């Protein structure tokens, strides 16, 4: 019997199993969807759909580098225990490599072929859900590259090579000596991990955010003359930019200098101009709404006392 793409799609939606597994199940059962579901269940491949609604805020951030470019990904799991699973670590490391080959685009990476398998990265994640037994999610990815220079990286809370809790990339454009440039890029990446800046400089901050900050400053000083309020707001915004703009922040490795001053000094070391063209910081689980539970209430409910 000819197994159509529509039949495979229908079975995938019902079970959450991988595309190739769905095709195999339909082939084995002569296209009978209900029997195919049972076939997948017997092989433990239909677990993914049941777990898809569970919150996945743990997992790993992974980094892959290749010369003047690097990619960072976040793959989530339900528990930190899974992050120590070798199979999960291999999954994240491999997805980072695929992201590097696909320009850091999340959707392109998810749809790309998983190395050594006849299916996509998304399908491999679904298979991992069935095998490992937890909900997982390839959440995001990004890439930085330079035409000349380096993309430095740093992984905080490292659990294995290129894997950890906070992954940072920093791109330094320069035709200067690579070795000292790479050292500075890594140190700035460590700085970004610690300070979590909003943008490289003020031009990179959303104008709406700046207006919101200005409104807060003006609200605090209502009743004062307009010209005084404007000066206070201007001064307050300068302070805000020093706090959130990477180039204006005091360097964590030497608080007497800003990151911009460190880059200026670096130009002398590498023998060429240096420009910080961008950075990416992925912190595991940031922005994911985690479930909270009242354990005592759950026990009481289970015992029938509430």
Q: Which CATH number belongs to the domain containing residue 10 in this structure? A: 1.10.8.10
pLDDT at 42 over 80: no
- CA torsion through residues 35, 36, 39, 40, sign: negative
Q: Is 199 within the bounds of a domain?
A: yes
pLDDT at 209 over 80: yes
Q: pLDDT > 90: what percent of the chain? A: 56
Judgement on whether residues 162 and 225 belong to the same structural domain of the protein: no
For residues 45-50, average pLDDT: 52
Residue 286 burial by Cβ neighbours in a 10 Å radius (0-12, 13-18, 19+): exposed
pLDDT at residue 148, rounded to an integer: 97
Q: Is 303 within the bounds of a domain?
A: no
For residues 215-237, average pLDDT: 80
Judgement on whether residues 125 and 30 belong to the same structural domain of the protein: no
Residue 288 burial by Cβ neighbours in a 10 Å radius (0-12, 13-18, 19+): middle
User: What are the CA-CA distances from residue 105 to residues 99, 144, 172, 200 (Å)?
Assistant: 7, 11, 21, 21
Judgement on whether residues 267 and 122 belong to the same structural domain of the protein: yes
Judgement on whether residues 9 and 111 belong to the same structural domain of the protein: no
Judgement on whether residues 20 and 108 belong to the same structural domain of the protein: no
Q: Is 300 within the bounds of a domain?
A: no
For residues 197-225, average pLDDT: 86
pLDDT at residue 305, rounded to an integer: 47
Judgement on whether residues 148 and 251 belong to the same structural domain of the protein: yes
Paired sense of beta strands 250-251 and 254-258, if any: antiparallel
Query: Could you tell me the pTM of the whole model?
Result: 0.76
pLDDT at 46 over 80: no
For residue 97, give the H/E element and its range. Answer: helix 86-101
Q: Is 297 within the bounds of a domain?
A: no
Nearest to 57 by CA among 135, 169, 166: 135
pLDDT at 301 over 90: no
Q: Are 284 and 290 in contact (CB under 8 A)?
A: no
Mean pLDDT of the chain: 87
Nearest to 74 by CA among 56, 86, 92: 92
Q: Is 290 within the bounds of a domain?
A: no
pLDDT at 1 over 60: yes
pLDDT at residue 44, rounded to an integer: 60
Q: Is 212 within the bounds of a domain?
A: yes
Range of the domain at 221: 206-242
Domain count, the chain: 3
For residues 99-103, average pLDDT: 97
Which residues on neighbouring strands pair with residue 164, listed in sequence order? Answer: 61
Q: Are 67 and 82 in contact (CB under 8 A)?
A: no
pLDDT at residue 289, rounded to an integer: 61
Judgement on whether residues 234 and 253 belong to the same structural domain of the protein: no
**pLDDT grade for 54, boundaries at 50, 70 and 90:** low
Q: Of 51, 67, 82, which marks where a domain is finished?
A: 51
Judgement on whether residues 192 and 135 belong to the same structural domain of the protein: yes
* 170 or 304, which is more confident: 170
**pLDDT grade for 20, boundaries at 50, 70 and 90:** confident
**pLDDT grade for 225, boundaries at 50, 70 and 90:** confident
Judgement on whether residues 132 and 276 belong to the same structural domain of the protein: yes
Judgement on whether residues 114 and 133 belong to the same structural domain of the protein: yes
Phi, psi of 77 (to 5 degrees): -135, 175
pLDDT at 226 over 50: yes
Judgement on whether residues 131 and 215 belong to the same structural domain of the protein: no
Q: Is 299 within the bounds of a domain?
A: no
Judgement on whether residues 26 and 148 belong to the same structural domain of the protein: no
Neighbour count for residue 229 (Cβ, 10 Å): 18
Q: pLDDT > 70: what percent of the chain? A: 86
Q: Is 230 within the bounds of a domain?
A: yes
Q: Which CATH number belongs to the domain containing residue 69 in this structure? A: 3.30.479.20
């Amino acid at each position: 019997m000819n197994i159509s793409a529509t039949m495979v799609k229908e079975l995938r939606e019902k079970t959450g199993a991988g595309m190739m597994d769905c095709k195999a199940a339909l082939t084995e059962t002569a296209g009978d969807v209900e029997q195919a579901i049972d076939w997948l269940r017997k092989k433990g491949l239909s677990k993914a759909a049941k777990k898809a609604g569970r919150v996945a805020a743990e997992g790993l951030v992974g980094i892959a580098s290749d010369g003047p470019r690097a990619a960072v990904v976040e793959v989530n799991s339900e528990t930190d225990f899974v992050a120590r699973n070798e199979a999960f670590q291999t999954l994240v490391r491999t997805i980072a490599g695929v992201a590097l080959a696909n320009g850091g685009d999340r959707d392109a990476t998810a749809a790309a072929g998983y190395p050594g398998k006849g299916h996509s990265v998304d399908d491999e994640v679904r298979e991992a859900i069935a095998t490992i037994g937890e909900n997982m999610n390839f959440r995001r990815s990004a890439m930085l590259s330079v035409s000349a220079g380096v993309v430095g990286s740093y992984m905080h809370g490292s659990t294995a090579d290129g894997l950890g809790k906070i992954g940072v990339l920093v791109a330094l454009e320069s035709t200067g000596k690579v070795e000292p440039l790479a050292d500075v890029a890594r140190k700035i990446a460590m700085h970004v991990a610690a300070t979590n800046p909003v943008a490289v400089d003020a031009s990179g901050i959303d104008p709406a955010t700046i207006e919101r900050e200005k409104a807060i400053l003006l609200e605090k000083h209502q009743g004062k003359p307009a010209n005084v309020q404007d000066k206070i707001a201007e001064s307050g915004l300068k302070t805000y930019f020093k706090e959130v703009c990477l180039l204006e922040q005091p360097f964590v490795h030497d608080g007497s200098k800003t990151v911009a001053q460190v880059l200026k000094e670096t130009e002398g070391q590498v023998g060429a101009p240096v420009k910080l063209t961008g950075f990416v910081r992925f912190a595991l689980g940031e922005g994911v709404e985690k479930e909270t539970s009242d354990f005592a209430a759950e026990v009481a409910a289970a015992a029938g006392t509430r």
